[in-house]
Amino acid sequence: MTKFKISDSIQWQFIPFVAGRSILVLTSVLLFTESNIAIAKEYPVNIAQTTQTNDAIHTAAELAYKEGKQLYQQGTAESLLKAIAKFQEALPLYRKIGDRSSEAFTVAHLGKIYSDLGQQEKALDYLNQALLLRRQLGDKTGETITLNNIGSTYSDLGELQKALDYFHQALLINREIGDKTGEARTINNIGNVYLNSGESQKALDYFQQSLSLRREVGDKLGEARTINNISLIYLDLGQKQKALDYLQQCLPIYKQMGDESAESISLNNIGTIYLDSGEQQKALNYLQQSLVLRKQIGDKLGEARTLNNIGNVYSKFGEKQKALDYFHQSLPLFQSVENKLGLAANLNNIGSIYSDLGEQKKALDYYQQSLPLYQKVGNRGGEALTIYNIASAQRKQGNLNAALTQIKIVINIVEDLRTKINSQELRTSYFATVQNYYQFYIDLLMQLHKQQPSQGYDALALQISERARARSLLELLTEAKADIRQGVEPKLLSQEKNLQQQIDVLEKRRIQLLGGNYTQIQLQALEKENEAVLEQYQQVQTQIRATSPHYAALTQPQPLSLAQIQQQVLDEDTLLLEYSLGENRSYVWAVTNKSITSYELPKRADIEAIVQKFRQEITTPYLKHSPSIDALSKIILAPVAPQLQNKRLVVVSDGALQYVPFGALTKPNSQQTSSYEPLLINHEIITLPSVSTVAILRSEHKERKPATKTLVVLADPIFSIDDERLQSKVQVPPAPVPEDNLNTLALSRATRDSDISFKRLQFTRQEAEEILALVPADKAKSAFDFTASRNTATSNDLSQYSIIHFATHGILNSKHPELSGIVLSLFDNKGVPENGFLRLHDIFNLNLKAELVVLSACKTGLGEEVKGEGLVGLTRGFMYAGSPRVVVSLWSVDDQATSELMKVFYKKMLQEGLKPAAALRTAQLEIWRTQKYAAPYYWAAFTLQGEWK
């Protein structure tokens, strides 16, 4: 796809700085800039201080010049050629009378027209003439205009370093003369260069600087242009909805101001987002609107880009020949305007069509034409894509070793680009967009392993599987032990604090709004403002990371190799099962501390279908056994059955398998019996986001001083004003919502997409009391009722305890994982509402010494599934906060059964000395053996994630 950034060079061309000419001429040109040609013609041209001959020449020159501007303003290819003729008519006349200022404007216009027509070498010739004249005249503003236009021309030619050199020259002058509007535009253009080179973080940093300046000077159109460019960053990094939200802010501004060029750009970019999202018909509608505008204004480059994108739509429709037709229409246009980046994308797309049609030789020919263009431009993302396509074509030809060489290069580029993104959120979303490269690599290695079983390709594939998953979690866990705010510029820390206060104020405003009469428009406006501040908050946190001496000193934690997994993680009694689900086939590796075996499994879609049925049946309370349990067990466990024996199983899942409690599966290929025997009978089972996670957890916790106390339990909070414990507490009339109450907004946002109801969990108190009875009173703490609060959960007191137990409601928000959390008491002991929502960001900010956190609540093990990261939820929050192991649930659990399970679990740990993983297994088996709770629904939801030792 070809997205279209917005450069600001075009906006500069008619803004003059006039030396030695009448102010009336200046006014006429400024009015012309606003497209008011009729008014411009009414102003006289001051031709005083000239001879009669010069007077006539000057008049003729001005007439030709004005006509040239009118023709340029029409914007069609035909009118541009006529404009050139008019400017060429005016130019020698200005030179004859020595009007160097007008000469500078004329050659600048000629340069810009040739640039628009794609004749970049001619454009540079004229622009360099303009630059020399403006420097001789001392025209600083005109000099920055010309420097920007030269920079944009070099950018279009793909000579990005030269472009940067000219933009930086312009920026220095902008700052020297205090031109903030010009500074904003130049910074925007610098951002475009980094966008073209694939350096998303640098591009975003410059666009944010430009946006701030444009808002400061009130440049609404410029603000819209920069917002457009920011949207492209989010689109490149996989955040489609965010990109769409930005673009939809721009479109009405362009329409209102009659900026057809910018409007066509936005339409094109909205079309690419819908294309990326799989909504081809919507994409086609927007792209066709863009194409009409492109042709009307004679924008050859824009036309080429939009035709290219329409080709992509038809490719997605499966109409390969029609797609090829559009690509071939855009190809000569890209060539005529000498746009290397667009041409590279176009050639790549043509190659992909031929590859889909089975013509790999032709495909490779086009890819080989595309690759040097991306390399010359310096766009590493495009380079990676092209090399990946080359590898894919070579593989289809049966040349696996050549494909292997190419995909190694791709992964190295991806890893380099990933580390240049400072924002954890953007780094994670970028990593999700390149998971297909890792899957290709894994599949290729496993196919080579099939051909040459003794060459160790399966071990390499396992290592790539580790490189492809949970990388952000590894980095977060490494970061957790470093005070990344120490040594950071105080101004940044102050900004972070101020933005956090703004977030709190906005949440308070929403509470007040919800408490009275309000309109949806008011609510939407407040939410929009809240999202903008949240984004600024994330940007400041990114800057803190980027400038922190401690963060800079952290090395990128590398995933483990097979040898390291065997030496550092596994022991004689442990078997690692690591899964990778692929488009055409999937794999499982069975690894002990001395061996590795690997097996091919069905494709992802087949496994997802059976997992969906399995989830439906296992969450049904009356089903003690179901066919889907055996069916799923057969698919994912039958190949490794000989290795299982009675070992501890460490499971690293992938995709839909992350929602599967492996303990509820059965051992396949065993002697068939009529009764259901879960895998737990013979196996202790641990789940991990990646096996490398355990190594990091062990490294961080081996020298940590243990907590001084044993157990703290937060249970049976107060959720409702109708709770019987509040009957004597509630004031009449009800107390007003205090200014610091933030839970209404947070909870309403978190539960918007769920069906949770905050009913009292009757059995959690009994559960908590029986657990606490197992620990000496001076080593334990109970937090019930009003004290089962957010204040208790976030107090420093929690760092004293080695086990932290939450028995309450949990919230999973898959759409916005940052809104997942734990619900604690929503009222204080006077019946006044209080903030009782412990959100994910609160959990990340805890500082724990706990050896175990138990979330005896619903769905606490779930989260948003992010490609390459797994389930991003509460587990990683508590690991970051300091706990090496967390017990969580995979569905909405039964209150009474959970209470019974937890009592046995703690008894096994605290009285019989079993380690958490073994204690959980024993408790689950004991509950399963009771007739009342035999169905997996009652006991299988809970899993232990993290360290098992």
Render pLDDT for 569-583 as a digit per residue (tens, 0 to 9): 899 999 999 999 999
Quote the tokens at residue 601. 């499994």
Q: Is the pLDDT higher at 109 or at 745?
A: 109
Cβ atoms < 10 Å from Cβ of 585 = 16
How far apart CA 187 and CA 338 sit, in angstroms, is 24
Least confident of 476-490, 646-660, 799-813: 476-490
Q: pLDDT tens across 816-871, in order?
A: 556 677 888 888 888 888 878 887 777 877 888 889 999 875 554 444 444 444 34
Mean pLDDT on 516-542? 71
Q: Report the distance separating Cα 289 and Cα 279, nearest Å.
A: 16
Distance between CA atoms of 352 and 356, rounded to whole angstroms? Answer: 6
Closest to 908 in 3D by CA, of 884, 928, 924: 924
Other CB atoms within a 10 A radius of the CB of residue 39 amount to: 12
Asked if 391 and 436 touch (Cβ cutoff 8 Å), the reply is no
Tens digit of each residue's pLDDT (9 = 90 or more) over 620-672: 888 888 888 999 999 999 999 999 989 999 998 888 898 899 999 998 865 55
| Secondary structure (DSSP) of 732-794 | SSPPPPPTT--HHHHHHHHHTTS-------HHHHHHHHHHHTTS-GGGEEEEEETTSSHHHHT
Determine the pLDDT at residue 829.
81
pTM over 0.85: no
What local confidence, expressed as pLDDT, does residue 816 receive? 59
Question: Quick one: which of 506, 507, 503 has its CA closest to 535?
Answer: 503
CA angle 556-948-586, nearest 5°? 65
What confidence tier does 158 reach under pLDDT thresholds 50, 70, 90? confident
Closest C-alpha among 894, 897, 914, 900 to residue 852? 914
Pseudo-torsion of CA 613, 619, 623, 628, nearest 10°? 20
Three-class SS state of 580: strand
Q: How many helices (H) and strands (E) does the chain have?
A: 40, 16
Pick the range with the lowest mean pLDDT from 122-136, 348-362, 730-744. 730-744
**How much is the mean pLDDT over the chain?**
80
User: What average pLDDT score do residues 667-695 get?
Assistant: 80
Mean pLDDT, rounded, for 361-380: 90
194 neighbors 164 (Cβ within 8 angstroms): no
What is the mean predicted confidence (pLDDT) over 367-381?
88
Say if residue 121's pLDDT is above 60: yes
Candidate ranges 5-14, 137-146, 428-437; pick with highest mean pLDDT: 137-146
pLDDT at position 739 is 38
Lowest mean pLDDT among 242-246, 464-468, 554-558: 554-558
- Least Cα distance to 577 among 559, 563, 565 occurs for 565
User: Can you tell me the distance from the alpha carbon of 745 to that of 748, in angstroms, rounded to the nearest whole number?
Assistant: 5
CB 408 within 8 A of CB 457: no
- 272-286 residue pLDDT tens: 888 888 899 999 999
At 145 the three-state DSSP class reads helix
The answer to whether the beta carbons of residues 819 and 838 sit under 8 Å apart is no
Give residue-wise pLDDT tens across range 885-931. Answer: 888 888 777 778 888 898 999 999 999 999 999 999 999 999 999 88
Cα-Cα-Cα-Cα dihedral sign, residues 174, 177, 180, 182: negative
Confidence of residue 32 (pLDDT cuts 50, 70, 90): very low
The kind and range of the H/E element at 887 are: strand 885-889
The proportion of the chain whose per-residue pLDDT surpasses 90, expressed as a percent, equals 34
Please state which of the ranges 422-431, 478-487, 797-806 shows the lowest mean pLDDT.
478-487
Work out the number of other CB atoms within 10 angstroms of the CB of residue 119: 17
| pLDDT 10s digits, 503-521 | 767 766 665 665 566 676 7
- Give residue 350's pLDDT: 96
Cα–Cα nearest to 433, from 453, 412, 418: 418
Which tens digit of pLDDT belongs to each residue from 74-89? 767 678 888 899 999 9
Asked if residue 552 has pLDDT above 60, the reply is no
Q: Which residues contact 449 (CB under 8 A, 6 or more apart)?
A: 455, 457, 458, 461, 598
Q: Map residue 864 onto helix, strand or coil.
A: strand
CB atoms within 10 A of CB 68: 26
3-state SS of 464-533? HHHHCCCHHHHHHHHHHCCCCCCCCCHHHHHHHHHHHHHHHHHHHHHHHHHCCCCCHHHHHHHHHHHHHH
Alpha-carbon gap, residue 870 to 860, rounded angstroms: 14
User: Both tokens of residue 65?
Assistant: 């010049």
Cα separation, 648 vs 574, whole angstroms: 5
Q: State the Cα–Cα distance between residues 592 and 887, nearest whole angstrom.
A: 25
Measured distance CA(829)–CA(940) in Å, rounded: 36
Contacts by 750-755 with C-beta closer than 8 Å and gap 24+? 750/811, 750/813, 750/816, 750/819, 750/820, 750/821, 750/837, 750/839, 751/811, 751/813, 753/813, 753/814, 753/815, 754/811, 754/812, 754/813
Q: Are strands 885-889 and 821-823 parallel, antiparallel or unpaired?
A: unpaired
The number of residues in the chain equals: 949
DSSP 12: G
pLDDT number for residue 328 = 94
Binned at pLDDT 50, 70 and 90, residue 741 comes out as: very low
Residue 21: predicted pLDDT? 23
